[in-house]
Structure 1
Amino acid sequence: MLPAVSPVVVAERVTKWYGPRRAVADVSFSIAPGEIVGLLGPNGSGKSTIFRMLTGYLVPTSGRIAVAGHDVVEDSIGVRRAISYVPEDAPLYDHMRVGEFLHFMAGLKGLHGAKARAAVDEAAERLDLVRVMKLTAGKLSRGFRQRVSIAQALLGNPDVLVLDEPTSGLDPHQVIAVRDLIQSLAGRHTVLMASHILPEIEKIASRVMILLDGVLLTSDALKDAAPDFRLRLSADASLESIRAAADAVAGVHDIVAAADEGGRFLVAADRRPALAADLLSALVGAQIAVRELTELRPDLERVFLDLTRQPEAAA
């Protein structure tokens, strides 16, 4: 049996007051190493406040936050070594060349000489910045400014990356480039990103938390909406023959014919990594021609609207 993996980010009953206004209310969550987690919520819901507490810019009024085992209040320096933050407005020194800025940031993170050069070169290559290294930041497009901000965050190989609205204001090509970059970070870094754009969160994140008026409504919106693992199957066979072939696959609960057209089925099963592969193997072994076998995910927009309307309905 594999040992349990300790979370790299832990928030326990965190509350933040700004004078008489409560911005975050009793929020608790944890994030495992290598996860890409989306924090979704309308503007003013408390996303940026949570990020600023995670990174040590703000102190919680009550509750506890730890990053990579470091408490944000008792060991803020340890937290800042383990985490990198990219705020929404991508702040850069406009008079500095991109290369100068990245070397400056590397020095702030304790990288000097050959180590700094290697880290800057790697970040520039990953972010496709080699061609703009001699340009001043003030001459960069918004898309390149965002890339430079993410590049400086990667310097020093932090455990956690916090990205606040990373695709805000970008054109469609820039959005796709940033999205692909964030997805490439999974596994090597833990990523927590905020957005109010539902399709972007849905495409990037493996788990979605929803925040409204400082209250965390769910720490896994898609799982809460559909706790069962479901697959869409398209095959040239009858329902009876598909059920017979799948009978030996552990974890398959039920298979029903889809209502829309013939040859399409819905499979309800346990959520385990090898289930789809085992089912496909069983179907092929029974000489059933499979055209499609894909996981069905709930509609995040519907989940978001259902959750955020609950307080209104109860009022």
Structure 2
Amino acid sequence: MAVVSLEGLSKRYGNHLAVDDVSFDVGDREVMGLLGPNGSGKTTILRTLTGYLRPTAGIVRVAGFDVVQEGRLARRRIGYVPEDAPLYPQMRVNEFLAFMGRLRGLDGQKLDVSLGLARKRLGLEDVGETIIGRLSRGYRQRVCLAQAVLHEPDLLVLDEPTNGLDPRQIIEFRTLIRSLAEHCAIVVSSHILAEIARLADRVAILLDGRLLAVRQVKASGSIRLRARTDLAPGIVSALRTAMAGVEIAEAPQAGGMVSLHVSTAEDGAVDQVIARLAAAGIGIVEMSEAGADLEETFLAVTSRKAFH
């Protein structure tokens, strides 16, 4: 059974049709990305999915429960992180998480176990007594994620989760989300194509509230690097030592530079390469991901009319 099922979902605000007859399913432990420009209906879909908005038409189910007819049962199975993370900045991390746990019906030993597990999963064990308002934005996002998974939801809903994070925080957050996907289904929205490409198993492409396509996300696993020629042996050694199934082709360039084409079957190839070269202290001039499956798909489907 699908964890999420949308059947003909529509949402109208007065004369404005924000979501127009959208249907898709999300399976257990699957990451589904909602991709589209601002105003494409992503947030409206998420708010309807989580029970904050009532659909104008259609049926939305979470873990088999209708979010309108069986709203309380459906919401118990959802963890939600909206775009502007709702936190109490004057509270300490442990205090806030315990408060949120009690709101979700957890108490006693069950609450203690849930708090410990959430802190461990989200890397919050060293900041438990820190006032939330003094945390970096990256850690505040971790706290918001922790409150969303305290009750072991079947579905985790994330609305633009990497907005405002710096590049390092984005990479760390991406790793956290993939680890959480081992325990539940995830629906994540973004208008940034590269982020969805790194996070999602499948992507629903939206435009003007209409579903254009649902596509499998294909990680290219292929990266092009450009570096000084004298650094090439170190790059090859670092990557082949640390990553499985790596193939590297070298092409000399003018000016003492070399281009390396790196292919690997490992997930998160770009993040892996960045981490390995950083650990080895090797600097490169340029890096790009070869292949653009999702980009090509997005451009192709947004140039056509939506299907129903």
**Alpha-carbon shift at residue 169 of structure 1 (Å):** 0.9
Distance 1:52 1:148 in 2: 21
Q: 1:122 is matched with which residue? A: 117
Q: 1:149 is matched with which residue? A: 144
Structure-2-length-normalised TM-score: 0.74
What SS does structure 2 have at the residue aligned with 1:135?
coil
**Alpha-carbon shift at residue 309 of structure 1 (Å):** 2.4
Deviations along 1:83-113, whole A, 9 cap, x unmatched? 1110111110111111111000100111101
Distance 2:53 2:34 in 1: 18
Over 3 Å counting, the alpha-carbon distance change for 1:22 and 1:221 in structure 2 is: farther
CA RMSD of aligned residues (A): 2.3
2:182 is the counterpart of 1:187: yes
Larger radius of gyration: 1
2:303 is the counterpart of 1:306: no
Distance 1:8 1:124 in 2: 25
The correspondence for 1:83, drawn from 78, 81, 87, is 78
Aligned length: 241
The correspondence for 1:198, drawn from 187, 190, 193, is 193
The correspondence for 2:101, drawn from 85, 88, 106, is 106
The correspondence for 1:163, drawn from 158, 163, 168, is 158
Q: Structure 1: where are the runs of 5+ without partners?
A: 1-5, 224-229, 233-295
Distance 1:121 1:43 in 2: 37
Distance 2:202 2:91 in 1: 37
**Alpha-carbon shift at residue 212 of structure 1 (Å):** 0.6
Over 3 Å counting, the alpha-carbon distance change for 1:60 and 1:136 in structure 2 is: same
Q: Structure 2: where are the runs of 5+ without partners?
A: 223-289
Asked if the contact 2:9–2:20 (Cα under 8 Å) also holds between the matched residues in 1, the reply is yes
Q: 1:66 is matched with which residue? A: 61
Asked if the contact 1:209–1:221 (Cα under 8 Å) also holds between the matched residues in 2, the reply is no
Identity among equivalent positions (%) equals 53
**Alpha-carbon shift at residue 200 of structure 1 (Å):** 1.1
Asked if the contact 1:221–1:303 (Cα under 8 Å) also holds between the matched residues in 2, the reply is no
**Alpha-carbon shift at residue 297 of structure 1 (Å):** 7.1
Distance 1:10 1:29 in 2: 6
Asked if the contact 2:212–2:305 (Cα under 8 Å) also holds between the matched residues in 1, the reply is no
Instruction: State the one-letter code of the partner of 1:137.
Output: I
Over 3 Å counting, the alpha-carbon distance change for 1:113 and 1:22 in structure 2 is: same
What SS does structure 1 have at the residue aligned with 2:303?
helix
1:209-220 alignment to 2 at 5 Å?
Answer: 209-220=204-215
Asked if the contact 1:33–1:187 (Cα under 8 Å) also holds between the matched residues in 2, the reply is no
Structure-1-length-normalised TM-score: 0.72
Distance 1:70 1:112 in 2: 25
What SS does structure 2 have at the residue aligned with 1:60?
coil
The correspondence for 1:31, drawn from 26, 33, 47, is 26
1:242-257 alignment to 2 at 5 Å?
Answer: none
Instruction: State the one-letter code of the partner of 1:166.
Output: P
1:40-59 alignment to 2 at 5 Å?
Answer: 40-59=35-54
Deviations along 1:24-70, whole A, 9 cap, x unmatched? 00000011111011110101111000000000000000100000011
Distance 2:297 2:7 in 1: 25
2:17 is the counterpart of 1:8: no
Instruction: State the one-letter code of the partner of 1:29.
Output: F
